[in-house]
Every structure is written in C-alpha cells, then in structure tokens.
C-alpha cells in the first residue's frame, strides 16, 4: 500500500538518485557567519548541478528556531540533514567536501558515470 501523507516517513522505502526521487534537505546554520554562507552556497551548487528540480532545501537559523534545532539534536552548525529519500543522513561543516556530500546523498558526480 503506498504511503499517505499521514503515515509519515516510517513507511517510505529508500530511493536511488536515478529513480527521480525528490530530496528533502534541511540545512541548519548559525546566523550569517562566513561558514554558514559558504555552506548554503555549496549545498545549493551541489543540488542545482545534481538534483535540478528534484529537491527542497530548507535553511534554518538555529538562533531563530532553537526548538527545531533541539528536535533534530543539532550539536554543531552548519549541519545538513537529508530527510528523504531514506536513509536519513547528516553532514557537518561548510559542505566543501563535494565528493563526500555526493556519496552521502547517494549521488555520483556526472563525470564518473561514463
């Protein structure tokens, strides 16, 4: 039986990038620090190049939304959380290690697929 919006993510199965799955990402930052701004730019670039039109990125300032950060158990910022497709993954830092992010998102660089 397909999952319904009310069923939450527990009923969803992992999906590969090649399946056209929609990615739901949350990036937790601390205000407008240089590291936070770099993380936003890096994540947007990775997503635009590899998930064009197939991702939702929510940027959350932990100072403005401490309850959300506490609920996700954010202990460092910037932190990127891949909510969907499963499995859930977390990345900490300015997101400059593109290879690591691509692997964690179950993506491969376009030039290595040949």
Strand order in the sheet with 79-84: 55-61, 23-29, 79-84, 89-92
Tokens 């090649």: give the residue: 18
Q: What is the DSSP letter of 33?
A: -
What CATH number did the domain enclosing 50 receive? Answer: 3.40.30.10
What pLDDT is recorded for position 111?
53
Q: State the total domains in the chain.
A: 1
Domain that holds residue 70: 21-109
Task: List the single range of 2-16, 71-85, 88-102 with lowest mean pLDDT.
Answer: 2-16
CB-count burial class (<10 Å; 0-12, 13-18, 19+) for 70: exposed
What pLDDT is recorded for position 88?
95
Helix (H), strand (E) at residue 37: helix 34-50
**Residue 89 within any structural domain of the chain:** yes
**Residue 48 within any structural domain of the chain:** yes
Say if residue 25's pLDDT is above 70.
yes
**Residue 12 within any structural domain of the chain:** no
């Amino acid at each position: 039986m397909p999952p319904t919006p009310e069923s939450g993510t527990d009923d969803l199965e992992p999906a590969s990038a090649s399946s056209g799955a929609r990615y739901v990402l949350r990036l937790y930052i601390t205000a407008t620090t240089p590291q936070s701004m770099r993380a936003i730019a890096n994540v947007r670039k990775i997503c635009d190049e590899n998930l064009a039109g197939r991702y939702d990125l929510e940027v959350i300032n932990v100072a403005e939304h401490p309850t959300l950060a506490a609920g996700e158990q954010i202990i460092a910022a910037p932190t990127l959380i891949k909510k969907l497709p499963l499995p859930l993954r977390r990345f900490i830092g300015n997101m400059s290690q593109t290879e690591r992010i691509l692997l964690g998102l179950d993506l491969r660089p376009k030039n290595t697929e040949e």
